[in-house]
Structure 1
Amino acid sequence: MIPPITEPTSTGNPNTEQFPSSNGRKLGNISGQLNRWSRARVIRSGRKLDRPPVHHQTATQHVDQLPKEINVSITSPSSSSLSSLEDCTLKESDDDDLVAKGKEIYMVSDGSGRTAEHSVNAALGQFEHFMVHRGCSVNTRLFSGINDIERLMEIIMQAAKEDAILIYTLADEKMAASARHACKVWGVSSIDILRPIIDAIASHLGVSPSGLPRGAPGRKFPLTDDYFKRIDAIEFTIKQDDGALPQNLHRADIVIAGVSRSGKTPLSIYLAQKGFKVANVPIVVGIELPKSLYEIDPKKVFALTINPVMLQTIRRERAKSLGFVEDEKSSYAEMVHVREELDYATKIFVQNPTWPVIEVTGKAIEEIAVIVLRLYQDRKQNSSIPVISRIY
């Protein structure tokens, strides 16, 4: 008998966190970015998390239909196993008839799972209105490094129990075929992200795919010039973080300017991984910006701005993580100081109209990077760009 998967696997995403149920157990990894408003609504409205009835599903009647390469024993889940499965049911305090049940999304990969995770997060961004207004949470669970049939069947069986959708990226055609067949047998909705793209490219190139996941022992990754360029860019960016070594700003491809906690460092590291040397310069009231910032090509400089309420929230969390207490004499997270810094930064931006001002509130690092790179390439190629005074 295959043991049930009762503990969720971490996605490795810094924006995911554990959502507690009413009895103290953890329901699994949930995207904090996509569910923070839902959790806030739960707290404000006084709703509680209840365990919904679990629908029993028998798989034994379909065992004979599984592919021959799936040599595993599959039995009906026991009542004790089913009792360990929990989900999120949110009940409106003012309307008992309105029930929003949490939905499960399983992501399975034979590699790191980044492709599946990024695809799912991008798609979920189109459903924030549903999760916010309906108060419905979406629990995403990533299972990476899945390279044997038995483990794959365990996950699909668990997905059937929890009525989850299975999204997978499996390079091995036999593994992918087994996943498709098992999902069909057990009634699990599934999507193979890679297969249509692989088939289309194979048809275009006239070559069969290797069927090996990235990072497999049989694959070779030559050290190209692009590889060394990225390593050099990352090393440069780390040394230039938070205004360090301002005399090297002329060596940077991109320079990011903004107040503290506006996302300069993560944006810089993300761009560095794409091969760009990035320096970031903090804007602090009472501290003059380095002269070298005004001496370099202004087309390199990009400014970040953020909503003051969001900035205050981020700074408060940062202060807590550093061990600051509320009664300490620090204005770092005070709204008056936050607005003062943002106003000070705005004045600097106005004095330098060639710096594009990017509004980062509610945007993921990837989204901000797309804007920066679009403007960077347009400037590099001397293409026409929108009026710089516009906030992107």
Structure 2
Amino acid sequence: MIASSTSTLRFQLAVFYRIPKSPKASYEPASEPQPRKFRPSPQLNRWSRARSLRSGRKFDRTGQHSQQLDPNPPLQLKEQVSPEQKDTTLTASNGGADVDLTAGKSIYMVSDGTGWTVEHSVGAALGQFEHCLVDRNCAVNTHLFSGIDDVGQLMEIIKQAAKEGALVVYTLADPSMAESAKQACEIWGIPNIDMLGPITQSIASHLNVSPSGGPRRYPLTDEYFRRIEAIEFTIKQDDGALPQNLHKADIVLAGVSRTGKTPLSIYLSQKGYKVANVPIVMGVPLPKALFEIDPEKVFGLTINPVVLHTIRRARAKSLGFGDGVRSNYSEMDHVREELEFARKILAQNPVWPVIEVTGKAVEETAAVVLRLYHDRKNKCSMPRISKRY
């Protein structure tokens, strides 16, 4: 039984990796030892081949090279190929049964948007067939057609799929386009999957609301331009730059280094808020504009000194400072002293709320900032027992 399993394993390796049979044992004197060559792990080879095949690359079995297929080929009708012109079918005997090793099955992915949904869905589904893609070489060529919003283009793609015998998978938000694709595939006998229609109908039935049915477009509204303007403003105001523009900001963040001011600013700006952040550094006076603007715009950030010390040590290493290089920036005594300095400044401005960012994700801190911001704007603040949040 063990001998049979061993011979089967050797046969599989010989087929897919073209490993020659080991020569018979020889009693001749051994030659000088040769330098050991690097041989990749068989499991690593399997993963690499699976990724390549799933992404549309076809392997040249003789040279073990791969060639990237065009993900969006021109729509040209192919002539009928005779059986003699097709690739030679590779077969291997496995326990008396022939295994078909021919490759070249195609999947056409069609979308009226970016194609992200259909591409990743098909990729996830193909991940369940790695045993076939690798062990039996049943390669799949995927082709993505995105932004298809014309029926004529859609019909050309389906014609080409019929010529190649491809599977058509589509996510078409426009009901008329989806229906046209379904009818054309049925007429030409093409296997097809509507990935968006069934779930859309199920949600519509569950909510008792009809779907919009329009293509997924993102119009350039006033809100869009407002968000872009907010992002540009926030980037220019990062780390205390251009303090003369602090009065234009919706939100101003103040805190010592590495309290997450920049990522929090960028996150808030993507929601349409103009954000500026000002670092609090010992020995460096804060800009006068910070104390002249509306104090209800300003939010202080603080953090646990032990956590800040750990973050700064990691930051110092990333900048190339070894253990032998001492810097006040990452020394515990300096961290405590700087936090105490910031605490005194924040205490001198009682209108500024202080947010504790220790253990909080950016989204959590942003939620606290926005709640306080809108409470102040609407003049309806929640009762609190502490200045810290």
User: TM-score with structure 1 length normalisation?
Assistant: 0.51
- 2:352 pairs, out of 351, 355, 358, with 355
- How many residue pairs match? The answer is 227
The correspondence of residues 23-102 of structure 1 with structure 2, limited to 5 A, is none
| Cα shift at 1:319 | 1.2
The aligned amino acid for 2:262 is T
Amino acid at match of 1:334: E
Instruction: Indicate the structure (1 or 2) with the bigger Cα radius of gyration.
Output: 2
Match of 2:125 among 153, 160, 167: 153
Per-residue deviation at 1:328?
Answer: 2.2
> After the TM superposition, which residues 253-264 of structure 1 pair with which residues of structure 2 at under 5 Å, given as runs?
253-264=250-261
Tell me, in whole angstroms, the C-alpha distance in 2 between the residues paired with 1:112 and 1:155. 24
SS in 1 for 2:259: coil
Per-residue CA deviation, residues 215-274 of structure 1 (Å, 9 max, x unaligned), is xxx533221111111111111101100001111110000000011000000000000011
* Distance change (3 Å), C-alpha of 1:155 and 1:272: same
* Equivalent-residue separation in structure 2 for 1:146 and 1:346 (angstroms): 52
SS at match of 1:280: strand
5 Å-filtered alignment, 1:1-392, equals 146-147=118-119, 151-156=123-128, 174=193, 176=195, 200=206, 203-204=208-209, 206-207=210-211, 209=213, 219-387=216-384, 389-392=386-389
Q: What amino acid does structure 1 have at the position aligned with 2:125?
A: M
Q: How far apart are 1:146 and its partner, in Å?
A: 4.3
8 Å Cα contact 1:353/1:389 also seen in 2: no
After superposing on structure 2, the runs of 4+ consecutive aligned residues of structure 1 that deviate more than 4 Å are 110-113, 156-159, 170-178, 194-201
Indicate conservation of the 8 Å contact 2:112/2:172, yes or no: no
- Alpha-carbon spacing, 1:177–1:325, altered in 2? closer, same or farther (3 Å): same
* Alpha carbons 2:171, 2:196 under 8 Å: kept: no
Contact 2:118/2:171, CA 8 A, preserved across alignment:
no
Q: Structure 1, unaligned stretches of length 5 or more?
A: 1-23, 29-77, 79-109, 114-143, 160-169, 181-191, 211-217
Structure 2 SS opposite 1:303: strand
After superposition, the Cα gap between the structure-2 partners of 1:199 and 1:279, relative to the gap in structure 1 and judged at 3 Å, is farther
Q: Give the superposition deviation at 1:330.
A: 1.2
> Percent of aligned positions with the same letter in both sequences?
58
Does the 8 A contact of 1:356 with 1:389 survive in 2? no
Gaps of 5+ in 2: 1-42, 48-93, 95-110, 132-169, 174-192
In structure 2, distance between residues paired with 1:219 and 1:177: 12
Residues 378/150 of structure 1: CA separation in 2 closer, same or farther (3 Å cut): closer
Q: Are the equivalent residues in 2 in contact too, given 1:357–1:389 (CA < 8 A)?
A: no
- The separation in 1 between residues aligned to 2:221 and 2:227, in whole angstroms, is 10
Equivalent-residue separation in structure 2 for 1:234 and 1:301 (angstroms): 18
Let me know the Cα RMSD of the aligned residues.
3.7
Asked whether the 8 Å contact 2:231–2:270 carries over to 1, the reply is yes
1:149–1:175: 8 Å Cα contact kept in structure 2?
A: no
Give the C-alpha shift of residue 363 in structure 1.
0.8
Structure 2: how far apart are the matches of 1:112 and 1:336?
55
